[in-house]
Structure 1
């Protein structure tokens, strides 16, 4: 797809019906496809790669361990739970607990969903139509981009990879059209780990406010940000049209619960998102709601556990990469869930990842898997998961692979 003649550098336009091209993923060792490239890659390589450095979630908790953290009320709910249909919006007590994580929100300002991605999908479906336009900050989780491009026209604004993955507000402003409806982003960002500083976020909110835009942020990596004391507030706390998406899959280590949510001050938007949700999961599983309440009330314990694992693996990775300055750029991970160093080997990041999986059974993710139809994404990066206990052993195998490679 060619750049529009009047587009600013780093912006690429997409018509309403366009999806990533048929060659997306060709360099990943998977068949050319319009499908979700990351899922296709995992399907291709997971069977032969038994040492995971690909995960972006924290070490999963067992059901027994989570129930040990339950208080008397949660234990009562668990014993008396029935398996009928639950409230499509989420149990009122769970929504109230989620709302308390934000400033000035109430239970009615929260919609519980079957995972954060369902929340993203429903919110976008509530806000976008064929006559609209959206701006997407990339890289971003490919299904989120696909939802946007199937609903309306879109432009992509790529983070500056040579400026520590910063967001250029002038570039974003140049992408806004008269019919632009919203900005979609993911900060802290995957795969880069980038986080917005307060000045940039304030400038972005001012820009959105001047144009009457919704600002939707996927915030699922907030709990694994390297420096939580410096983390900027959720967008829903700062902007009347800010919508914060979050969930329990990443920093809580509970992806099996499938619990996410959208927090928004406009209840009319949540009503329309609920209509979209009725076409998907309809409602959450009742037991998941109870377990989510346990997890949220035990957040310091769960996220502290996850952060401890991430810190240990981050130190191991830093020591390893420092031994090979000719292969890896000095790139201090900004998130405890993963790192995204530049790989400088002659074969390229994608070929290196395939070789590592086939020869040593260690699965890492090349950045080509975050291919975007909207803007160019660097393909010389590797995303390495740091959140699992097994990541330490996998890093040891990676160290052996690099040692053998150096001796060839």
Structure 2
């Protein structure tokens, strides 16, 4: 018999679309956050060199020392964070970093405030730990920023954590320093942990990225980062969790019992990515922004409402005129009939109903053709 809380873990609505798409031919895939740019040669070379010298043994639970030291320097340089090596833990992508942070802080029945719309794993990981995700809204009328008044109403004596994701997946919203300071003040008054997902930190458009931990004065922020999106290393699976000081002993135990350690060749690739030439990151950012501008122009021409993102590489598009109150079912029909795979907004929370997420990290030709196949207002549903 399975643990009683397992049936409450929701399936990923994004992965469902992807799995259907994998069985079809000629699909325009805009559902996954998969960069279309290749990994930089110096990153691939570092991983290859590790394999060739047989650097494939166990390594420390927290990761190889050169990588952890490089992350410490990176955090000081780019995030205004001064941390020690023992606060940095290499993980299997940011997904494991997020789960690890929740394992560290949440008990069965504890409540965690999650953004809605928000990344699906926030809710899935909480449920996997028998914790209770409580959604807080990111509404269009507020520029998709959180309402501190709403959050105050949602906090109970069981609330233990609030998850903050800026730049946001799926919205592309970037929270300004004032908003982050307000969230941190709320967490301080209610003695909450803050889990900050900063996977899209390098992709912002006109709005600077601020790490909420840089504002933290009482060690309540845990921060998750990744090489996946920044360096097009989604399948390499290297991220890191930054913890408050004083947790190294328990973190070693948690890593040992979950993954032991991150594979060594991937860590050398991550080291090369962080320490090496960053020109390819800037080129990718320009490519994604150019894709947005072309996509936005076509959406406007076709009368399709959409959010202008301030970061990440997604486009949040309103298809409520066609989806009939069931955007998940509509997205499946769109895939089967039009061969366009999009992420249904409801996969990211209840307030995502009627919206879809398009990935801008695709070829411009595919992106624009996918948009042409969406039904415009007045055309009826293409699905």
Bucket of the pairwise TM-score, normalised by the shorter protein: 0.7 to 0.9
Residues 213, 402 of structure 1: alpha-carbon distance in 2 compared, 3 angstrom cutoff: closer
How many residue pairs were aligned? Answer: 367
Residues 96, 354 of structure 1: alpha-carbon distance in 2 compared, 3 angstrom cutoff: same
Could you list the per-position Cα deviations for residues 76-107 of structure 1 after superposition, in whole angstroms to 9, with x for gaps in the alignment? 76653421112111011101111222221121
- Distance, in Å, in 2 between the alignment partners of 1:130 and 1:62 is 40
Residues 142, 396 of structure 1: alpha-carbon distance in 2 compared, 3 angstrom cutoff: closer
- Distance, in Å, in 1 between the alignment partners of 2:316 and 2:306 is 11
RMSD: 2.8
Conserved in 1, the CA contact under 8 Å of 2:87 and 2:245?
A: yes
- 1:379 — aligned with what? 353
- Distance, in Å, in 1 between the alignment partners of 2:284 and 2:119 is 22
Q: Which of 189, 200, 204 matches 2:183?
A: 204
- Distance, in Å, in 1 between the alignment partners of 2:110 and 2:353 is 30
Could you list the per-position Cα deviations for residues 157-198 of structure 1 after superposition, in whole angstroms to 9, with x for gaps in the alignment? 121233221200111122222343221232221111122111
Q: CA deviation at 1:397?
A: 4.5
Residues 83, 341 of structure 1: alpha-carbon distance in 2 compared, 3 angstrom cutoff: same
Q: Which of 245, 267, 282 matches 1:266?
A: 245
- 1:334 — aligned with what? 310
- Long gaps (5+) in structure 2: 76-80
Q: Which of 95, 111, 114 matches 2:92?
A: 114
- Distance, in Å, in 2 between the alignment partners of 1:354 and 1:179 is 37
- Distance, in Å, in 2 between the alignment partners of 1:287 and 1:75 is 7
- 1:222 — aligned with what? 201
Conserved in 2, the CA contact under 8 Å of 1:135 and 1:154?
A: yes
Conserved in 2, the CA contact under 8 Å of 1:187 and 1:195?
A: yes
- 1:158 — aligned with what? 137
- 1:130 — aligned with what? 108
Residues 60, 36 of structure 1: alpha-carbon distance in 2 compared, 3 angstrom cutoff: same
- 1:92 — aligned with what? 65
- Distance, in Å, in 1 between the alignment partners of 2:22 and 2:333 is 13
SS at match of 2:261: coil
Conserved in 2, the CA contact under 8 Å of 1:316 and 1:392?
A: no
Residues 94, 382 of structure 1: alpha-carbon distance in 2 compared, 3 angstrom cutoff: same
- 1:25 — aligned with what? none
Q: Which of 164, 172, 186 matches 2:165?
A: 186
Q: CA deviation at 1:342?
A: 1.3
Q: Is 1:396 paired with 2:369?
A: yes
- Distance, in Å, in 2 between the alignment partners of 1:54 and 1:274 is 36
- Distance, in Å, in 1 between the alignment partners of 2:132 and 2:347 is 22
Q: Which of 225, 232, 254 matches 1:253?
A: 232
SS at match of 1:129: coil
- Distance, in Å, in 2 between the alignment partners of 1:336 and 1:154 is 24
Residues 37, 406 of structure 1: alpha-carbon distance in 2 compared, 3 angstrom cutoff: closer
Q: Is 1:241 paired with 2:241?
A: no
Q: CA deviation at 1:280?
A: 2.7
Conserved in 2, the CA contact under 8 Å of 1:241 and 1:266?
A: no
- 1:41 — aligned with what? 17
Q: Is 1:50 paired with 2:50?
A: no
Q: CA deviation at 1:318?
A: 0.8
- Distance, in Å, in 1 between the alignment partners of 2:320 and 2:232 is 32
Q: CA deviation at 1:337?
A: 1.1
Q: CA deviation at 1:283?
A: 0.8
SS at match of 1:224: coil
- 1:13 — aligned with what? none
Q: CA deviation at 1:51?
A: 1.7
- Distance, in Å, in 1 between the alignment partners of 2:90 and 2:330 is 40
- Distance, in Å, in 2 between the alignment partners of 1:75 and 1:43 is 30
Q: CA deviation at 1:352?
A: 4.8
- 2:341 — aligned with what? 363
